[in-house]
Structure 1
Amino acid sequence: MWSRAVRWGTFIAGLASIVLVFGFASSTMYGIEHGANLIAYWHIALAWTSSVALATTFLGSVFYLRYEGRFWNRLAHSAGEIGFLFATLTLITGSIWGKVIWNSWWEWSDVRLVTFLIVWLVYAGYLVVYSSTENSDDERYASVYGVLGFVTVPISYAATRLWTPTFHEATLGNGNVSANIDPLTLVVSILAVTFLYAYLMGVRIKLHELEDKVHWGNAHNR
């Protein structure tokens, strides 16, 4: 029942997001009219949802360190993989959008870009550490990494408030934002990507369960 609801939610919210982005949202942002500006809605949605995914990795790692249940380990790693994927897409879509708005694919002077790149590198490291685990002790190291690495996520989110932003503005909670973002389209797009995240999480956790069954089956047959 839950799986069917998530699939339908992903489809309906995704379709609504596409209709709103291409049918109603303005392609003019920061005074520049360009069709590529519409990518901003999915760029922001991907960035937000990647943070949710990495927060799930943090919580899964905390609970694994506390209770050592296989479920928590699967949850943390599945969310870490999807969060890393979404963070990668965030950087790619942001680069495309930045080329239109800033006439530059990348700006090292922007605090949000640099701190988000650090998040991306940290979670690339988490996946490398997890992939090298062979026993429960190694998995604990990956979980500790998942807990400590999460500190980079809120720092990146708050970067435009902690330091003077060069290009990025604080979008949420900023009444003076000049990006000309349509609130309804943004909310629906965030909802669509969140549903997609939930769907992918379900698929990845099931794959983890199958991997565990194969692993224990092979170990039993030896």
Structure 2
Amino acid sequence: MPAHVLILGGTTEARRLAADLAARPGIRVTTSLAGRVARPGTVAGEVRIGGFGGVQGLADWLRTHHVDALVDATHPFAEAITAHAARASAATGVALVVLRRPGWQPVPGDRWYDVPSLQAAAEALPCLGRRVFLSTGRLGLSAFAHLTDLHFVVRSVDPPGPPLPPHTELVLARGPFTVADETELLRTHRIEVLVTKDSGGGATAAKLTAARELALPVVVVRRPALPWGVTAVPDEAGVLQRLGLGAA
């Protein structure tokens, strides 16, 4: 049984996993948050805020704090930290478990356009609609900044920094959102096309249902590949099994 588990967090699954582990006698759990959200929710166990300073910094932290298991439960698009976790695990011998909720899959009625990146999403937009609901988070909006003829509605928990598209309307809100919420937003802002990352899970899936019901096209940015040799488990139960803990 691991004595100290470090969770690279920021997702709902990471929060649930921390609560499960913190309730088990003899296990110390620390969750690391990047600090990009001004008011993160409550997390069970210990919490640290901020980056590690690259692969070497993470490896040093694992050694210094006697970590037995490293769980990467970051966002599916946190490509850099996942790569760092894999390399730090290899350097220290600390076991790594990657937790990734399954991606979304289209159902009948969906009008999805799969693209490999935000840049590819920007290239696809002019042919699909002029009023865009850009639901990709506040990072990476610079990929759309050159689209001066389109109107963007951007939803984010915290205000995004520049550069932004010149015609941007900002909606500050924290989910989860219902289908009714998303339908109202799409109708109120006269949205013609939705752009989203394939985050997976149910917390942000309502916008896909709303878009389907309104027959709107959806540009879906697919996830980056995991580092070579790294596999993922789809849920907290898979993490517990990998850690030899079984169910609570």
Q: Same fold (TM over 0.5)?
A: no
Higher strand share: 2
> How high is the TM-score relative to the length of structure 1?
0.29
Higher relative contact order (CA 8 A, sep 6+): 1
Higher helix share: 1
